[in-house]
Amino acid sequence: MATQILVRQLVRASTSVGANVEEADGTETSRDRINKWNIARKEARETRYWLRIIAATDASAASSTDLERESDELVRILTVLIRNHRANSQS
């Protein structure tokens, strides 16, 4: 039962990453785009958190190391996008 609740949180956070990146592509201003990328980055970090919690609380859960690594990569990619977009907007 507890694992189902955790998995539901994981699904919400992980699907929000893609949704916010998609919304960022449709924004009209740099500020809105950066805001959506920031939200996506936060959701990627939350996804990583839920993966760790599930792995720690459910012995039958498969190792989430690869998924955690992918969420780390997403956080890094989004961080670079935000940083570069801010730099380009200011110049």
d(CA 45, CA 86): 21
pTM above 0.85, yes or no: yes
Q: Could you tell me if 29 and 66 are in contact, meaning their C-beta atoms sit under 8 angstroms apart?
A: no
% of the chain residues with pLDDT over 70: 92
> What confidence tens digit (pLDDT) does each residue in 49-75 have?
999 998 888 766 666 788 899 999 999
Distances (CA, A) of 21 to 5, 36, 64, 72: 25, 7, 23, 16
Q: How many Cβ atoms from other residues are within 10 Å of residue 69's Cβ?
A: 11
Asked whether residue 27 carries a pLDDT value surpassing 90, the answer given is yes
> pLDDT class for 38, splitting at 50, 70, 90?
very high
